[in-house]
């Protein structure tokens, strides 16, 4: 049995709105044409989590490759060389693991720029990249303020933040991306311990200790992330290179808001409808601006630098081939990239049936991790810990598994 609300008066109204929007939206399309870039890079990452009694075991992977003329050169090998990290405490584990994976992807992109890439294409959204310090990080900051407003020493936060930024920058100057990532995780751990020691020592309330611990880790993780993002953007500017984030899926609604169909569709659905039968076409929405975090979720001077220099972005919707689907790319305006060349490059490297760049498919498949891997590794680490190790108890399986119920 199939049921739907889209019928009767509701369906008639939707068709009426779509017909009005279609005529205007179809006229927004421009042809993709120009010369492709000669040296470009592609990056994608993946992570899986296994939640245990007192911690989460996270496994990270990133894949990257270069396309130089007609030659493909593999850089990072993705799931063939995963990085294992014990995430403790396990508060906000999914959000924090996603943030850490983004750091690894950004490191891979920096390496490609240093190899001479004229443009690097990353999976995802530049808007999401700028949103990383929002959401859960501001929730953590809000929670710590409610309990310990008078205990947050902004001078201490700035001192720890400045030291962490410097140490992350030092980690970026040596080794390959995976080694850099491990060093950055060490910086986060050491500086979070330092910050927590000071915050913990300033109060006796039990709840404050828990909130202070969450805040110390999130503050350092966000500071490390913004340091690496700022480095990537600055290097791209220095090298005269472009950065594009290409989304597999997006719920963006810039166009649907303009056309009055916001409650019905997202942008890619509207454009798929309006551009049916068309191929190698794009439209760009310029002049978008992103605000900055309101709370002290990372080193304050770093937040100011990133969100004053890199907060303007453009949104590009493109369709490659008549049978392809509409995709979205976003990029920072300050890099002033050659959009025509970038889109021609993607068109040249795309599967015409699906309209998606083959190298982005390659790095995705190389990076994606088996979800069972985290459990297997967590079990093995648990078994290898000495009987009295606190890590053994933190990595113990759930009570259900220990009782044989799952």
- Is residue 8 situated within a structural domain? no
**Token reading at 105:** 């992807």
Please give the pLDDT value at position 199. Answer: 85
How far from the centroid of its chain's Cα atoms is residue 146's Cα?
A: 29
Structural domain includes residue 243: yes
- Among 265, 151, 277, 264, smallest CA distance to 204 is for 151
Q: Which pLDDT belongs to residue 183?
A: 98
CA 185 to chain CA centroid, Å, is 17
DSSP annotation of 334 reads: G
pLDDT band at 44 (very low <50, low <70, confident <90, very high): very high
How many angstroms separate the CA atoms of 232 and 243, rounded? Answer: 9
What per-residue confidence (pLDDT) applies to 150? 63
How high is the pLDDT of residue 201? 67
User: How does strand 356-357 pair with strand 312-319?
Assistant: unpaired
- pLDDT value of residue 397: 87
Task: Give the span between the Cα atoms of 108 and 101, in whole angstroms.
Answer: 11
Overall number of domains in the chain? 1
The answer to whether residues 297 and 221 touch, using CB atoms and an 8 Å cutoff, is: no
Q: Kindly state whether residue 199 falls inside one of the protein's structural domains.
A: yes
The pair of three-digit structure tokens given for residue 269, joined into one six-digit string? 């659905």
Residue 25 placed within a domain = no
DSSP string computed for 267-308: HHHHHHHHTTT--SEEEEEEEEE----SS--S-HHHHHHHHH
Give residue 405's pLDDT: 39
Q: What is the pLDDT, as a whole number, of residue 8?
A: 67
Taking alpha carbons only, the member of 141, 103, 127 closest to residue 219 is 141
Q: How confident is the model at residue 403 (pLDDT cuts 50, 70, 90)?
A: very low
> Among 231, 225, 206, 193, which Cα is nearest to 297's?
225
Q: Is the confidence at residue 1, as pLDDT, over 80?
A: no
| Beta-ladder partners of 40 | 67, 119
Instruction: List 59's β-bridge partners, or say none.
Output: 48, 84
Nearest C-alpha neighbor of 121 from the set 296, 348, 297, 285: 348
Rounded mean pLDDT, 175-179: 95
The verdict on residue 159 lying in a domain is yes
How many alpha carbons fall within 13 Å on the CB side of residue 392? 7
Give me the helix-helix angle, 300-309 and 154-171, nearest 10°. Answer: 60
Query: What is the pTM for the complete model shown?
Result: 0.93
Name the nearest CA neighbour of 162 among 226, 223, 98. Answer: 223
Question: Where on the phi/psi map is residue 79: left (φ > 0), alpha (ψ -120 to 50), or beta?
Answer: alpha
Q: Are strands 30-31 and 281-289 parallel, antiparallel or unpaired?
A: antiparallel
Is pLDDT at 330 greater than 70 in this prediction? yes
Average pLDDT over all residues of the chain: 89
350 membership: H or E segment, kind and range: strand 350-351
On whether residue 71 sits in a domain, the answer given is: yes
Nearest-angstrom CA–CA distance, 335 and 277: 33
- DSSP annotation of 397 reads P
| Inter-residue contact 222 to 138 (CB < 8 Å) | no
Residue pair 122/244 in contact by the 8 Å Cβ criterion: yes
Q: Rg (Cα) of the chain, in Å, rounded?
A: 23
Helix/strand/coil for 242: strand
Which is higher by pLDDT, 405 or 244?
A: 244
Tell me the residue range of the domain where 79 lies. 31-402
Q: What is the mean pLDDT of residues 364-372?
A: 96
Category of 24 on φ-ψ map: left (φ > 0), alpha (ψ -120 to 50) or beta: alpha
pLDDT digits (tens, 9 = 90+) for 84-104: 999 988 899 999 999 999 999
Alpha-carbon distance 201 to 347, whole Å? 58
Quote the CA–CA distance of 9 and 14 in Å, as a whole number: 9
Selected residue with higher pLDDT from 262 and 397? 397
């Amino acid at each position: 049995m199939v049921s739907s609300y889209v019928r009767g008066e509701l369906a008639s109204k939707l068709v009426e709105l779509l017909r009005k929007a279609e005529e205007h939206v179809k006229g927004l399309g421009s042809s993709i044409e120009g010369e492709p870039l000669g040296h470009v890079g592609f990056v994608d990452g993946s992570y899986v989590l296994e939640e245990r009694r007192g911690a989460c075991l996270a496994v990270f992977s990133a894949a990257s490759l270069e396309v130089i003329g007609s030659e493909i050169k593999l850089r990072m090998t993705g799931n063939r060389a995963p990085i294992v990290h014990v995430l403790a405490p396990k508060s906000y584990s999914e959000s924090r693991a996603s943030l850490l994976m983004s750091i690894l992807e950004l490191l891979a992109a920096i390496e490609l720029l240093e190899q001479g890439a004229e443009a690097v294409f990353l999976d995802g959204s530049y808007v999401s990249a700028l949103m990383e310090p929002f959401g859960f990080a501001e929730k953590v900051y809000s929670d710590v303020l409610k309990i310990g407003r008078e205990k947050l020493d902004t001078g201490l936060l700035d001192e720890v933040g400045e030291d962490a930024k410097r140490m992350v920058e030092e980690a970026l100057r040596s080794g390959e991306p995976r080694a850099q990532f491990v060093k950055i995780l060490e910086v986060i751990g050491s500086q979070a311990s330092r910050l927590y020691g000071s915050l913990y020592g300033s109060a006796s309330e039990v709840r404050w200790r828990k909130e202070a611990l969450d805040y110390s880790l999130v503050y350092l993780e966000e500071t490390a992330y913004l340091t690496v993002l700022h480095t990537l953007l600055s290097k791209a500017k220095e090298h005269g290179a472009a950065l594009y984030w290409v989304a597999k899926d997006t719920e963006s609604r810039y166009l649907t808001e303009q056309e009055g169909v916001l409650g019905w569709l997202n942008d890619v659905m509207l454009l798929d409808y309006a551009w049916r039968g068309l191929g190698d076409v794009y439209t760009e929405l310029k002049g978008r601006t992103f605000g900055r975090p309101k709370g002290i979720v990372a080193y304050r001077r770093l937040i100011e630098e990133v969100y004053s220099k890199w907060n303007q972005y453009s949104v590009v919707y493109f369709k490659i081939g008549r049978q392809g689907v509409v995709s979205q790319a976003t990029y920072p305006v300050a890099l002033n990239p050659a959009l025509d060349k970038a889109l021609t490059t993607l068109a040249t490297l795309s599967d015409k049936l699906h309209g998606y760049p083959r190298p982005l498919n390659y790095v995705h498949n190389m990076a994606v991790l088996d979800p069972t891997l985290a459990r297997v590794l967590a079990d093995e680490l648990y078994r290898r810990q000495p009987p009295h190790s606190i890590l053994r108890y933190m990595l113990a399986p759930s009570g259900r598994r220990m009782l044989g119920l799952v």
